[in-house]
């Protein structure tokens, strides 16, 4: 395993390009199973989550080629309907295989995903959706055994969950419904840009999907889909992470290959907190500079277009050295505050209670060895380390490799002093 050594106190400057969206790429790669014709998907980020998905597709029998950010997938007749636990266990998002496998083969065997450090993320809505289309679901030996011998049939399904709409649940239902008989209506659908990107990809394949990006999506089933070419949208969370980095420790950054609409809630918050945010006329670039008199702020995470849960940890790092008292409430994953204890090791003043963090800004942070607990917590620790006095070691770097493409290289290009090294402390223990 690797760790990242970050020497704090160096101001970032320059420009960088944002990679394709990890969260959009995963269901789009899975959707390639819906046709036996080849599909070409561009700007797929080279991160461990997409690599795991590609491995799963290959294990199922698909032919997958990857070159310079473009992935070509061809799924001939006879691909397997059973996914391996050894592959699926590495990534919870593998649940998005459910929809395309059921649509294409009318049956599948998928291992149940395990627990998650940021909180419970059950698959009950995914199961509810596929059952509504006529599938039978059994659980045996840790696997979901799902079949629809008479095929899937369109219907109306409400995807409302306890903490708002489910993105992957909406994705799964869309992918299952494109080849179902009749019309499927998804009520309380997720509105995230990644859902819209998947719908655009499916429509290029010949699907008939209307309303993506709204609370009601209508899918008219078709008999078959064909191959296509598609470019994945920019990663709005990576863009947001660098926007926060610019406000935290820079002389100003120009962040390119973005979509203004997708990062608007992040930009609005930074402006409210006194920082400078200016978009290009076409909304594909943004320049961010630290404010001369930064202000404390308040976040309540919400489904899109609200403030994303995937960006609360990064803002917590910024708030930790912002004068005043800031409040972060996560309504999506109330347990998602493990980064706070690590930030406190660096001198942050944070109190967490019942899904809310209260941050009292301090004058400065100091370097300390810290441990990443999940993908976005890792990003928060990197941001804090860039601003801290001294040299910070961030352990369990594999978390950040799940969703940030070449983060250390991008930081180096902006003037940061960072180094990835082998973490001997994280090697498996062979004691008897």
Distance of alpha carbon 128 from alpha carbon 308, whole angstroms: 25
Nearest Cα residue to 57 out of 68, 34, 47:
34
7 burial via Cβ count (<10 Å: 0-12, 13-18, 19+): middle
108 is catalytic: no
Beta-strand relationship, 216-220 and 183-187: antiparallel
Residue 122 DSSP class = -
Residues in contact with 126: Cβ distance below 8 Å, sequence separation at least 6, in sequence order: 95, 98, 166, 168, 169, 172
Q: How far is CA 293 from CA 9, 247, 272, 317, 322, in A?
A: 19, 11, 11, 17, 9
Distance of alpha carbon 212 from alpha carbon 263, whole angstroms: 18
Nearest Cα residue to 326 out of 384, 273, 370:
273
Is the separation of the CB atoms in 405 and 19 below 8 Å?
Answer: yes
Q: Give the active site residue among 96, 116, 256, 273.
A: 116
Beta-strand relationship, 143-147 and 183-187: unpaired
Residues in contact with 403: Cβ distance below 8 Å, sequence separation at least 6, in sequence order: 22, 23, 45, 47, 49, 235, 237, 238, 375
Residue 48 corresponds to which tokens in the numbers above?
């461990």
Q: Rounded to the nearest 5°, which phi and psi values hold at 161?
A: -115, 175
Distance of alpha carbon 216 from alpha carbon 160, whole angstroms: 11
Catalogue the active-site residues.
116
């Amino acid at each position: 395993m690797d760790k990242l050594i970050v020497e704090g106190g160096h101001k970032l400057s320059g420009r960088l390009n944002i990679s394709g969206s990890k969260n959009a790429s995963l269901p789009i790669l899975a959707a390639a199973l819906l046709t036996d014709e080849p599909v070409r998907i561009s700007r797929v980020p080279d991160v461990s989550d997409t690599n795991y998905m590609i491995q799963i597709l290959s294990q199922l029998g698909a032919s997958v080629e990857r070159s310079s950010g473009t992935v070509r997938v061809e799924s001939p007749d006879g691909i397997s309907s059973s996914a391996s636990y050894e592959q699926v266990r590495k990534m919870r998002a593998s649940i998005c295989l459910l929809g395309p496998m059921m649509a294409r083969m009318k049956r599948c065997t998928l291992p149940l995903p395990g627990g998650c450090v940021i909180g419970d993320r059950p698959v009950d809505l995914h199961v509810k959706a596929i059952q509504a289309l006529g599938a039978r679901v059994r659980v045996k030996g840790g696997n979901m055994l799902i079949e629809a011998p008479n095929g899937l049939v369109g219907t109306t399904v409400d995807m409302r969950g306890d903490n708002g709409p489910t993105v992957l649940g909406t994705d799964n239902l869309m992918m299952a419904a494109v080849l179902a008989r009749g019309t499927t209506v998804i009520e309380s659908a997720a509105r995230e840009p990644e859902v819209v990107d998947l719908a655009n990809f499916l429509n290029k394949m010949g699907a008939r999907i209307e309303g993506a990006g709204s609370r009601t999506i209508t899918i008219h089933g078709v008999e078959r889909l064909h191959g296509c070419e598609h470019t994945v949208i920019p990663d709005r969370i990576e863009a947001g992470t660098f926007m926060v980095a610019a406000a935290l420790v820079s002389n100003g950054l120009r962040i390119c290959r973005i979509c203004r609409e997708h990062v608007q809630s992040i930009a609005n918050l930074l402006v409210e907190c006194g920082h400078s945010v200016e978009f290009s006329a076409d909304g594909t670039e943004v320049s961010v500079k630290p404010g001369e008199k930064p202000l404390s702020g308040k976040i309540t995470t919400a489904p899109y277009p609200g403030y994303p849960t995937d960006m609360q940890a990064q803002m917590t790092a910024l708030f930790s050295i912002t004068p005043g008292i800031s409040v972060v409430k996560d309504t999506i994953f109330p347990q998602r505050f493990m980064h706070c204890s690590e930030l406190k090791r660096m001198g942050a003043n944070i109190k967490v209670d019942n899904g809310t963090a209260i941050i009292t800004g301090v004058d400065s942070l100091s370097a300390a060895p810290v441990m990443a607990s999940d993908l976005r917590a890792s990003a928060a620790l990197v941001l804090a380390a860039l601003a801290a006095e001294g040299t910070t070691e961030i352990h369990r770097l594999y978390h950040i490799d799940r969703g940030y493409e070449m983060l250390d290289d991008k930081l180096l290009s902006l003037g940061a002093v960072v180094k990835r090294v082998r973490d001997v402390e994280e090697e498996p223990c062979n004691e008897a």
